[in-house]
A and B are shown apart, each in its own frame.
Chain A
């Protein structure tokens, strides 16, 4: 392997990010200077990886901005058709293991044992590469956002999860509704079910006025799709529920469920209603709870019940110990689940409608403790779908850490959330986030 193709890819990725960032705040698009001279022997493997649906792209001309100038790249669907899939990497994802600074001697100095070998990473450019387990996702159209976190954060899971959930960068705004709930309300057109959570009974959609649904498994929906048991009882009885405002509210909920049930039963995508998950599907077999969640979500997306936001989760990122064996397992699950999910979305012809975006409450400590990493600050987020490929944000310096030895935050997390709302879904960030953040130019305008 030579450095040539890698440099080409770096130019393509970096050039796009820079181009897309025209007019944005200077911190918003970070293509760092960095050394262009990677040591060839440390970053082998396939280079110039094709983006989804296309051949390797030749070097982009400086200043290139128009995405349609890049053959093979997905062009985003019209904004009203777009779907956001938020994947929460719960426990605090170690961004340095997701997007590895494989060309940094300091990274290997600080993590003598628990680093990802430069030989193994899937190169993004001459500085960083994806975790070696992310093989399927590496071949897809993607972007990474580095340095994401709270500006004045805490190291408490609970506190930070609450801030991400509510979209409150300081935790001081007494916001009691979820960010995704407000986003669902903004997208609600009065038709269909806007939000779906396959991540448990979380507050993400709490206090949403828009119809949202949270389920742990498709079994729960059999209440609505099997033509025996309770469903026919309520199909007959909803109109007969009387007895004050609370009963009316229940009747309204049943009406919503019956509509979803009706949509599931008549969906042409699901001629037999909701089917059981295929346990042999690699997404389900190898994707852990995330694979099960996304397979469940895929069924409901295929049923076309109006979904615009999906929230899924993979727990286990709190790698205080055993990072060395836990992390590859987690990344393997992310790869199987998200890659399988995107394959299904492409099969549906929705490759240009779906953006997958990760979140995590915080990153992890730069220096290892015994066998893992303690709670940190900035982390790296991944985006898959019709994005302008590249690296966004600012890779945090390994030399300039905060007082706790953590990576400093360059992109406040509300900027990241605002970007998903505004740049992808066309919802003004200021209308759903109290901080009215600036946004990153992750898709072609």
Chain B
């Protein structure tokens, strides 16, 4: 691997991992600071105060979010909101009403760096989630287990820390919530809720959504699991069970506040030990591709074609993580898009040099194979300059480095 700019390259890594875009102006701003100060600048950046639309079509709501992610001022908040969306999933077509997506997105962005406990409390009575996991209209007579089960299996402890009886008990305790027709407001109707004491995780009392979520947040497995997921997302390595337990225990000591956890992970030397440790997921690759090529952000078919459109997870467990994003399907789809790009949309695209191409792609650290491929592109053919530039852009976008973060 050649490091083309050792002063900036670590800060490119930091920007790539901690935001949804690599903006060289922002990189240079951060690179003027010692690492810990750069991390603080990212973590303490004020919220943009913007709110997603809460009416209209969900296409527009998703489009609004993508538009925020690629703004120069976008930062850690949207990286974290994206992370939370991959953990606390909802499918926009299964959420019943499109209008419910905006409020949930605002919830994720508002709490992205707040308290995990508050985030989960609000999420579990969010209208879109209630619709998605069939908690809407779940009553004492007919409790629906879907939300209760996924809350434990996916959003908190994971399997192995509760019984089927706990699922049934939690389902009963979480009844009474519904989304009102017309206003789409979430209401709790005590008349439809179960008020009987139930035994949940070894304690029999009158439980409700708030106390169930609280109890699960107190569980050490929850902190360990969520912290390990965030570690993988930001660092790109698997933490391992003992290290996850340690990080989780430490995070519990921080009252599950998200800022200290993110700060600790971003400051860990392991984060910057190596470039290109985990695959860019389909959506991450799409946003990076979009920023390089200036492709129209409203082309929602592209992230769908790449297997990761926002608010369209394949199931409630969210999108796969890891090598799935590097299989032959993904490589072929990404390479095809790389080949058919419109280089006239890229400022100076048709006349770009290899260095200019690599800079715009954020590839300050690049392997010999890619450098060689770029320098020898078009060898033995008679390509005109624009075609040669086109081929080089395609090679950079389909290079191993660009598939990874």
Verify B323–A242 contact, CB threshold 8 A: no
Among A10-18, A23-31, A216-224, A283-291, the one that faces the other chain is: A216-224
Residue A201 lies at the interface, judged by CB distance under 8 Å to chain B:
yes
Q: How far is the CA of A220 from the CA of B331 in the complex (A)?
A: 11
Q: How far is the CA of A254 from the CA of B372 in the complex (A)?
A: 17
Residue A212 lies at the interface, judged by CB distance under 8 Å to chain B:
yes
0/1 per residue, B299-310, Cβ < 8 Å to A?
000001111000
Sort chain B's interface into a size bin. Answer: 35 or more
Query: Which one, A176, A211, A247, contacts B328 given CB within 8 A?
Result: A211
Verify A230–B372 contact, CB threshold 8 A: no
Cβ contacts under 8 Å, A216 to chain B: 305
Residue B14 lies at the interface, judged by CB distance under 8 Å to chain A:
no
Verify A207–B377 contact, CB threshold 8 A: no
Query: Which one, B282, B326, B372, contacts A253 given CB within 8 A?
Result: B326
Cβ contacts under 8 Å, A403 to chain B: none
Q: How far is the CA of A205 from the CA of B153 in the complex (A)?
A: 23
**How far, in Å, is A339 (CB) from chain B's closest CB?**
29
**How far, in Å, is A243 (CB) from chain B's closest CB?**
5
Q: Which residue of B lies closest to A220 (CB)?
A: B336
**How far, in Å, is A392 (CB) from chain B's closest CB?**
30
Query: Which one, B304, B305, B320, B381, contacts A206 given CB within 8 A?
Result: B320
Residue A269 lies at the interface, judged by CB distance under 8 Å to chain B:
no
- Given that A213-B332, A229-B391 are known contacts, is A253 also in contact with B339, CB under 8 Å in the complex? no
Q: How far is the CA of A256 from the CA of B323 in the complex (A)?
A: 15
Residue A156 lies at the interface, judged by CB distance under 8 Å to chain B:
yes
- Given that A201-B306, A229-B339, A237-B372 are known contacts, is A244 also in contact with B314, CB under 8 Å in the complex? no
Mark out the residues of chain B between 289 and 343 whose CB falls within 8 Å of any chain A CB in the assembled complex.
304-307, 314-315, 317, 320, 323-324, 326-333, 335-336, 338-339
Verify B336–A158 contact, CB threshold 8 A: no
Residue B395 lies at the interface, judged by CB distance under 8 Å to chain A:
yes
Residue B15 lies at the interface, judged by CB distance under 8 Å to chain A:
no
Cβ contacts under 8 Å, B324 to chain A: 206-207
Mark out the residues of chain A between 214 and 251 whose CB falls within 8 Å of any chain B CB in the assembled complex.
214-216, 219-221, 223-224, 228-230, 233, 236-237, 240-244, 246-247, 249-251
Q: How far is the CA of A161 from the CA of B328 in the complex (A)?
A: 24
**How far, in Å, is B73 (CB) from chain A's closest CB?**
31
Cβ contacts under 8 Å, A247 to chain B: 276, 367, 400, 404
Q: How far is the CA of A251 from the CA of B317 in the complex (A)?
A: 28
Residue B94 lies at the interface, judged by CB distance under 8 Å to chain A:
yes
Residue B91 lies at the interface, judged by CB distance under 8 Å to chain A:
yes
Residue B368 lies at the interface, judged by CB distance under 8 Å to chain A:
yes
Cβ contacts under 8 Å, A236 to chain B: 373
Query: Which one, B94, B304, B370, contacts A201 given CB within 8 A?
Result: B304
Verify A215–B367 contact, CB threshold 8 A: no
- Given that A201-B305, A229-B394, A236-B373 are known contacts, is A207 also in contact with B328, CB under 8 Å in the complex? no
- Given that A206-B324, A215-B332, A241-B367 are known contacts, is A201 also in contact with B307, CB under 8 Å in the complex? yes
**How far, in Å, is B272 (CB) from chain A's closest CB?**
15
**How far, in Å, is B383 (CB) from chain A's closest CB?**
8
**How far, in Å, is B144 (CB) from chain A's closest CB?**
10
Candidate in B278, B279, B304, B323 with the most chain A CB atoms within 10 angstroms = B323
Query: Which one, B1, B278, B368, B398, contacts A246 given CB within 8 A?
Result: B278
Residue A100 lies at the interface, judged by CB distance under 8 Å to chain B:
no
Query: Which one, B320, B367, B395, contacts A207 given CB within 8 A?
Result: B320
Query: Which one, A201, A211, A228, A246, contacts B333 given CB within 8 A?
Result: A201
Verify B276–A240 contact, CB threshold 8 A: no
Chain B residues touching A, majority SS: helix
Cβ contacts under 8 Å, A244 to chain B: 274, 276-277
Q: Which residue of B lies closest to A176 (CB)?
A: B317
Verify A242–B369 contact, CB threshold 8 A: yes
Q: How far is the CA of A211 from the CA of B395 in the complex (A)?
A: 24
Cβ contacts under 8 Å, B333 to chain A: 201, 220
**How far, in Å, is B139 (CB) from chain A's closest CB?**
17
Residue A200 lies at the interface, judged by CB distance under 8 Å to chain B:
yes
Cβ contacts under 8 Å, B331 to chain A: 250, 253-254, 257
Q: Which residue of B lies closest to A201 (CB)?
A: B307
Cβ contacts under 8 Å, B153 to chain A: 174
Q: How far is the CA of A212 from the CA of B331 in the complex (A)?
A: 12
**How far, in Å, is A258 (CB) from chain B's closest CB?**
10
Mark out the residues of chain A between 359 and 388 whose CB falls within 8 Å of any chain B CB in the assembled complex.
none
Query: Which one, A203, A212, A233, A257, contacts B373 given CB within 8 A?
Result: A233
Cβ contacts under 8 Å, B329 to chain A: 201, 205, 212-214
**How far, in Å, is B113 (CB) from chain A's closest CB?**
28
Residue B157 lies at the interface, judged by CB distance under 8 Å to chain A:
no
Query: Which one, B94, B274, B279, B339, contacts A223 given CB within 8 A?
Result: B339
Verify B326–A246 contact, CB threshold 8 A: yes
Cβ contacts under 8 Å, A213 to chain B: 328-329, 332
Q: How far is the CA of A244 from the CA of B400 in the complex (A)?
A: 11
Residue B93 lies at the interface, judged by CB distance under 8 Å to chain A:
yes
Cβ contacts under 8 Å, B403 to chain A: 246, 250
Cβ contacts under 8 Å, B306 to chain A: 201
Residue A162 lies at the interface, judged by CB distance under 8 Å to chain B:
yes
Candidate in A174, A205, A237, A243 with the most chain B CB atoms within 10 angstroms = A243
Cβ contacts under 8 Å, A157 to chain B: 93-94
Q: How far is the CA of A246 from the CA of B277 in the complex (A)?
A: 7
Q: Which residue of A lies closest to B336 (CB)?
A: A220
Cβ contacts under 8 Å, B315 to chain A: 162, 166, 176, 203
**How far, in Å, is A362 (CB) from chain B's closest CB?**
15
Q: How far is the CA of A250 from the CA of B278 in the complex (A)?
A: 11
Cβ contacts under 8 Å, A254 to chain B: 331
Query: Which one, B159, B369, B394, B398, contacts A240 given CB within 8 A?
Result: B369
Q: How far is the CA of A237 from the CA of B370 in the complex (A)?
A: 8
Q: How far is the CA of A237 from the CA of B395 in the complex (A)?
A: 11
**How far, in Å, is A22 (CB) from chain B's closest CB?**
40
Q: Which residue of B lies closest to A236 (CB)?
A: B373
Mark out the residues of chain B between 156 and 184 whose CB falls within 8 Å of any chain A CB in the assembled complex.
159
Q: How far is the CA of A237 from the CA of B368 in the complex (A)?
A: 10
Cβ contacts under 8 Å, A159 to chain B: 94
Which 5 residue pairs across A and B have the least CB separation, nearest first? A240-B369, A158-B94, A201-B307, A203-B314, A253-B331
Interface residues in chain B, defined as those with a beta carbon under 8 Å from any beta carbon in chain A: 1, 91, 93-94, 149, 153, 159, 274, 276-279, 282, 304-307, 314-315, 317, 320, 323-324, 326-333, 335-336, 338-339, 367-370, 372-373, 377, 381, 391, 394-395, 398, 400-401, 403-404
Interface CB pairs A-B, < 8 A, 20: A158-B93, A201-B282, A201-B305, A201-B333, A211-B328, A213-B329, A230-B394, A233-B377, A240-B369, A240-B372, A244-B277, A246-B276, A246-B277, A246-B326, A246-B400, A247-B404, A249-B323, A250-B400, A253-B326, A257-B332
